[in-house]
Amino acid sequence: MDPVKEDPMIRLPAAVLIAIASFLWTPILAADETCPGCYGSGRVGCPSCVGSFQYMWRGACSGCQGPWPPMRGGACTRCYGTGLCRPCDGKGMACLPCKGTGRVPDGVGELRRKEALQKAKEANAAGMKRVAFFEGSWKNEGSEREKRFTSRYRWEKCVGGSFLRLTERYENEEGTVIDFAAMLTFDPYSQEYVLLVVDSRARASCVRGRANDRGDAIQFTTSGENGRELRITWHLKPAERRVDFVTEIQGEDGFEKIGTSTGRRAADASDLPVEESEPAESMKRFSFLLGNWKQETRDGGGKKLSSEEFRWEARVGGHFFFAAEKSTPAGGRPEDFVSILGFDAPTKSYVVLLFSDPGKILLFQGKPSEETDAVSFRGNGIRWVWTPHSDGDRIDGVLESDPGEGEGKVLSRWTARRRAR
């Protein structure tokens, strides 16, 4: 991955967010009457919009990921700047399993959930097998608009192997240094690869791509400057432990090549810095979040649902918080999750992205209360409220269904306590 002059990444000011997130799955998925196709909302994304990934920005234009402002790419030629999916007018479509009601008969939801989950796991595993040789350390050399650059990076499996996580340091001949972090997965619903990237310039981007018929290349597309299409192709050569990257921008006479590079497996990447960053200025208020936490989640009646252990870290210049979590359902097997936390300046709201198996990405947005220390996040038919204690060593929270207005049904309550930093 190499940054180009016509950068598809849109500025995302420094992350300012407190969140304990991944416990969501246990209470939601356990409800028999909740439709597994839409998680009770009654609506899903149509095949043409970003919501084809089921939950991520349902009804959004797939060219510019419209409803989340940091993902907007300017004058998008697919939606004419509206940010909405034109085929469904931004409304998505009614969920077929529940016929738009959000509910299915008792017992049916759990059965359908298991069947759908197994199929999604198989599809995700097949897609990730194509890029399995990425795992490990790499060195990349190339040029962008006649300027030479090098980068060292490392891909690591995470979230049960349904994602690859990237850590990268880029440096060009002018001495510019940029740190990147990214999450790569295969969307089992749209059959596309999804790559979400953040960097030390406080920028974020999300691109989607498809493999060619031979399976030896993946082409990502997004909107570049002035709405022109940007095309990034990864040519996969697993036998040589090599990937060739080509970046092109749409011009008057077709696509113009503006960058090329070659990545090769490196025997050692010990010089690749992966240490934690100091929080950026806007993060310092919440620096107490960084470190290790232990959490216990119970349902509305007090029955234990799960226990979690996780660690928050400030990365890529301290502009983003990352968390890796291991959640153990009561009587079940541990599951891994990853979260990225960020602040959306245009809407003055906080954003949390949750990454879970098999290749799912959930987005929530919220704002702090003007009267208390509580923060309320909403998304995917859920309202999730957390309240930090003044000592900085405990956070209490509640998760409930979100009817839009009024109070929802309590799905779970949780308490997170700090462990040794």
Strands 291-298 and 410-418: antiparallel
Please check whether residues 279 and 370 belong to one and the same domain. yes
Residue 385 pLDDT: 86
Q: Does 15 have pLDDT greater than 50?
A: no
**Domain containing 104: what range?**
43-128
Structural domain includes residue 329: yes
Counting the structural domains of the chain, the total is: 3
Last residue of a domain, one of 112, 128, 144: 128
Structural domain includes residue 4: no
Last residue of a domain, one of 103, 128, 153: 128
Structural domain includes residue 25: no
Quote the tokens at residue 261.
């590079």
Structural domain includes residue 34: no
Residue 49 pLDDT: 79
Residue 38 pLDDT: 73
Please check whether residues 124 and 139 belong to one and the same domain. no
Percent of the chain with pLDDT over 70: 79
Please check whether residues 294 and 400 belong to one and the same domain. yes
Residue 22 pLDDT: 32
365-380: average pLDDT: 80
Confidence of residue 114 (pLDDT cuts 50, 70, 90): confident
Please check whether residues 220 and 142 belong to one and the same domain. yes
Please check whether residues 261 and 337 belong to one and the same domain. no
Please check whether residues 194 and 298 belong to one and the same domain. no
Last residue of a domain, one of 64, 96, 128: 128
Please check whether residues 136 and 115 belong to one and the same domain. no
- Name the least confident of 53-62, 190-199, 295-304, 310-319: 53-62
Structural domain includes residue 28: no
Confidence of residue 274 (pLDDT cuts 50, 70, 90): low
- Name the least confident of 246-250, 267-271, 328-332, 399-403: 267-271
Please check whether residues 282 and 359 belong to one and the same domain. yes
204-212: average pLDDT: 88
Q: Is 69 exposed, middle or buried (0-12, 13-18, 19+ CB in 10 A)?
A: middle
- Name the least confident of 150-154, 262-266, 313-317, 347-351: 347-351
383 or 381, greater pLDDT: 383
Q: Does 162 have pLDDT greater than 90?
A: yes
Percent of the chain with pLDDT over 90: 34
Please check whether residues 123 and 160 belong to one and the same domain. no
Q: Does 408 have pLDDT greater than 70?
A: yes
Contact 330, 304 (CB under 8 A): yes
Contact 159, 141 (CB under 8 A): no
Query: ∠ CA 327-332-337 to the nearest 5 degrees?
Result: 25
Please check whether residues 110 and 197 belong to one and the same domain. no
> For residue 136, what is the domain's CATH number?
2.40.128.20
Structural domain includes residue 1: no
Residue 39 pLDDT: 65
CA separation for the pair 144, 180 (Å, rounded): 17
141-154: average pLDDT: 90
In terms of average pLDDT, the best of 46-60, 132-146, 378-392 is 132-146
Q: Does 273 have pLDDT greater than 80?
A: no
Query: What mean pLDDT value characterizes the chain?
Result: 80
Q: How many CB atoms lie within 10 A of CB 334?
A: 14
Please check whether residues 149 and 109 belong to one and the same domain. no
CA separation for the pair 199, 369 (Å, rounded): 29
Q: Does 203 have pLDDT greater than 80?
A: yes
Q: Does 297 have pLDDT greater than 90?
A: yes
Strands 136-144 and 163-172: unpaired
Structural domain includes residue 364: yes
Please check whether residues 207 and 124 belong to one and the same domain. no
Contact 187, 195 (CB under 8 A): no
Residue 2 pLDDT: 42
Structural domain includes residue 22: no
- Name the least confident of 194-198, 206-210, 309-313, 347-351: 347-351
176 or 272, greater pLDDT: 176
Q: Does 70 have pLDDT greater than 50?
A: no
Q: Does 103 have pLDDT greater than 70?
A: yes
CA separation for the pair 192, 128 (Å, rounded): 11
CA separation for the pair 210, 340 (Å, rounded): 24
Residue 331 pLDDT: 81
- Name the least confident of 251-265, 310-324, 344-358: 344-358
Query: Is 0.85 topped by the overall pTM?
Result: no
